[in-house]
Structure 1
Amino acid sequence: MSDIPLVPGDTPLSAWREVYRGASVRLHGSAAGPVATSAAAIERILAKGAPVYGINTGFGKLASVRIDDADLARLQRNIVLSHAAGTGEPSPTAIVRLMMALKLASLAQGASGVRPATVALLERMIVAGLTPVVPSQGSVGASGDLAPLAHMAAAMIGVGEIEVGGVRQPADAALRASGLEPLALGPKEGLALLNGTQFSTANALAGLFDAERLFQAALVTGALSTEAAKGSDTPFDHRIHTLRRQPGQIETSDALRALMAGSAIRASHLKDDERVQDPYCLRCQPQVMGAALDVLRQAATTLGYEANGVSDNPLIFAETDEALSGGNFHAEPVAFAADMIALAVCEIGSLAERRIAMLVDPALSGLPAFLTPKPGLNSGFMIPQVTAAALVSENKQRAYPASVDSIPTSANQEDHVSMAAHGAARLLPMARNATAVVGVELLAAAQGCDFHRPLTSSPALEAVRTLLRGQVPHLDDDRHFHPDIEAANAFVRSGKIAAAAALSLPGVA
């Protein structure tokens, strides 16, 4: 996997996907000039002697306290140490790396006042695989992701821990072992490093990227379940959906129809099926999944802007030597995007669980009870459906919008916060839950189609069944189910299901 060039302010979402999935980064050469210019502006601003927030004053409620020039370096070190107050389990390495890359791209735009050496250290840490240990809890999403980013900044000054190759080490030792020296912070640099939305944004992007693969897999398993139940593809007729005019619905219906094209199972009951309409979990897939697709794309747009933005405070405008205090650290856009992703993930899993429940019910599916040839002696898919139901219920509880919550902090100076970090950090667990639901559906739908042999499904769906059967055989008699579910989950997470079905949706990877 080649290095991803980070172009400050203009890095595409596809690049952030690759960084999340393990690609290293290199900063585009265009960043050098703006960073140096911004750092020089800090020196000129200090020379004027006027109080400037974050440079020679205290922070938050203490912004009115003037700091002597002799204490400016200590001021920046103190803010990092005092704000590194997170708790909870360490954030996943992939999340922290993505957060570091987002911060790197932000600082490199030359609006934060940091020195070139500071930017270079952050870049070298990413390239060298030096990942700060960052507790997952402690941010309210304004004034930025202070605690998580402070743990990152602390590692840069040699405090705390750094993970290298899966092993946690003291930060100063890990830096020096890689030929790097801990950073001595200059004016404004501590605040620039720990202020911003990069922790929330990294978690939200990770949730988005996992949700994209989940969506594609669920579209395929939904088509496979329709085949297993000998459902109709008439509800996927393009003409129906053009009248609704919802873009995601139109695109989803077309994809479902293409997935089922050429199915001998479908052809076998076109004339003989007495059913007039299928259950909503089959018939309304374009409406539900299409809406989820539109929501995911809207969230992607918002997060794409945020990933390319500058969100610390104050911001440095070198052309006029001004440090302007604002509120770009308030992560409300990220919070809204995270809530949107959570709703989509919840509904994708909910619809898939209803299809599983339909398949195991002989009154609805026309298949053997619980998809086993010997119901009674065998339980078949009875409990996997229960597992799916449990996971869907858990996701429903987690899907409540985090952005509607707020709690005042910093002696009421920061009196409205976004809860973006909380809202974004829940996305990966939600995606894992929904992934397991779709994994169970993959197994159940493939099992259902097995009962229609020698009839086969479409070429696209048969390719998916072949992929699955290469690792998970047909279930004749009850066996240890957990390994089958884990294998199916891995197919969902990896994107191999969509690849096997040759499913491609613009903007979704």
Structure 2
Amino acid sequence: MIEIDGLQLDLSDIVYVAHGQQVRLSPEALARMAESQRSAEATARRRPVYGRSTGVGANRTVSLSARDGQDSHGLKLLRSHAVDAGRPLDRPTVRAMLVVRLSQLAAGGSGINPAVAESLAELLNADVLPEVREFGGIGTADLPALAGTALTMLGERKPLDGGSLPFRLEQWATADALPFISSSALTIAQAVLAHQELERLLANATTVAAMSFVAMSGNTEAFGPAVAAAADTPAVGEAARTIRVLVEGTGDPARIQDPYCLRTLPQIIGSQAEELQALGKLLERLVTAGNENPLVHGSPADGTNDVAHHGLFQMTNLARRADTLQLAIGAACATSLRRIDLLCDPNYTRQHPFLAADGSGQSGVMMLEYVAAAAAGRIRANAQPSSLQTVVLSLGAEEDASFASVATVQLQSTAHALATITAVELLCASRALRLQGRSPGEFASPRLRAVMAAGLTLSADVEDRDLRGDLDTAHVLVRATY
């Protein structure tokens, strides 16, 4: 059971909830939301509040009391904003979205009725989920996804894959409509899931690259203490130290200077680690940040209650962080493919071409290069910056968009493709080391031993055959925790 307190939510806990863990709201979070609700109500009695006493978007100047009546406006807002399109998202992504939104509401900046948050937690724990489709958000709040969630809670939409609601809300107050949907919870959730997968993948990719280094008898001078001290960023220096620990004592070097794909591993790995860490810090903030618009603050008890209308929902930084991580991973594709290429070269492994069983013209792992290149093509396409996009909407009232929603989907796609490249390299490096007669027990690094032992569980049959099953197994191995 994960407790949601609105103050902190570990990114790993979001993944646990995405895959079925249940949640509960802390008493402090419920008290904070109740105080925020009182503050919002008191503020609305003395001044206009966007979405509570006015319309939204280009209708922000329309007074509800004069135009539509506040009692019915909230439900109309939810219905009108719930439209999305495309393929339904998978259950873990939707669950991650719901727990992110729950955590944000628990932070107490929305003014929403705590009972709505309690119902959301109940929905999540019952695993009765809204059907959320892929197209709707543009990085300025995931309005369709959350409005559709509200309609599901009201019983107006069927849940994803069927199921019965654990409750049925009879109404949705106007005061709670915009506060519920004013969030980029889906975009943030997708970024969290991609970040957590990449954190594990990149760690394993580093170890797999070390296996390739060993198979090609690389020169460890490139990772020495003097090199680490001279690195241009701390992350690159730390990467040099990490690789040195992995490959220390693995054998004599075959060359004075290695190809770039081995010699520049600190820069490659360090830049990825640096961007991954920056994205992680931002996400840790976003899952509890008060990006609600309007943001409720202060207390009616001492007369400090008020709201602030703002633009923090524009996920500019998230889009930029996702883009820069994409660029770091995309830039590494050339060297990843080159290591796979050199593992097929007898001049570097002292084995038959393509790590084949003999020199009779067998193709060995030749086609795995093509598979890795196709995955690299996907990553490079994803690395085109989404943050450069923009759009003008709502009669010109909203003249920009971050498109962080596109960037985070691309990041998930990149993680999937990176797993393929890493799996190909693992399969090739493991085969090369096996053919060389190397064994995990030779090496000092426990991590290198563990990943090599995992790689050696792949088939020892090097005759030409269908390698799809081997690659499927390698996919599982590179996603494991060592």
TM-score range, shorter chain: over 0.9
State yes or no: 1:116 paired with 2:114: yes
Give me the identity figure in percent: 27
Aligned to 1:467: 454
* Match of residue 333, structure 1, among 308, 311, 317: 317
* Match of residue 102, structure 1, among 100, 103, 114: 100
Letter in 2 for 1:222: A
State yes or no: 1:200 paired with 2:180: no
In 2 relative to 1, CA 440–114 (structure 1 residues): closer, same or farther, beyond 3 Å?
Answer: same
State yes or no: 1:294 paired with 2:274: yes
Letter in 2 for 1:428: Q
Aligned to 2:6: 8
Aligned to 2:368: 384
Aligned to 1:168: 162
Letter in 2 for 1:493: R
Q: Is the 8 A contact 1:316 1:322 kept in 2?
A: yes
TM-score calculated relative to the size of structure 1: 0.88
In 2 relative to 1, CA 454–95 (structure 1 residues): closer, same or farther, beyond 3 Å?
Answer: closer
In structure 2, stretches of 5+ residues that fail to align are none
State yes or no: 1:315 paired with 2:315: no
Aligned to 2:223: 236
TM-score calculated relative to the size of structure 2: 0.93
Letter in 2 for 1:121: S
Greater shift in the superposed pair: 392-401 or 320-329: 320-329
Shift of 1:258: 1.6
2:199 and 2:88 map into 1 onto residues whose CA distance is 25
Aligned to 2:59: 62
Q: Is the 8 A contact 2:228 2:241 kept in 1?
A: no
Shift of 1:465: 2.7
Shift of 1:60: 0.4
Where in structure 2 are the equivalents of 1:68-217 lying within 5 Å?
A: 68=65, 71-142=69-140, 144-163=141-160, 167-169=161-163, 174-175=164-165, 178=166, 180-182=167-169, 184-217=171-204
Greater shift in the superposed pair: 17-26 or 330-339: 17-26
| 2:296 alignment partner, SS class | strand
Aligned to 1:395: 379
Shift of 1:238: 2.2
Question: How many residues of Structure 1 are paired with residues of Structure 2 in the alignment?
Answer: 474
Shift of 1:115: 0.7
In structure 1, stretches of 5+ residues that fail to align are 500-509
Aligned to 1:408: 392
1:241 and 1:183 map into 2 onto residues whose CA distance is 63
Aligned to 1:342: 326
1:46 and 1:287 map into 2 onto residues whose CA distance is 54
* Match of residue 424, structure 2, among 434, 440, 454: 440
Q: Is the 8 A contact 2:333 2:376 kept in 1?
A: yes
Q: Is the 8 A contact 1:281 1:352 kept in 2?
A: yes
Query: Considering only aligned residues, what root-mean-square deviation do their CA atoms show, in Å?
Result: 2.0
2:60 and 2:268 map into 1 onto residues whose CA distance is 49
Letter in 2 for 1:300: G
Q: Deviations over 1:145-185 (max 9, x none)?
A: 2122222222222222323xxx334xxxx21xx2x122521
Aligned to 1:420: 404
Shift of 1:382: 0.5
Runs of 4 or more, structure 1, over 6 Å off, are none
Aligned to 1:507: none
| 1:463 alignment partner, SS class | helix
* Match of residue 354, structure 2, among 370, 377, 386: 370
1:349 and 1:438 map into 2 onto residues whose CA distance is 10
Q: Deviations over 1:69-93 (max 9, x none)?
A: 8832321111111111111111222
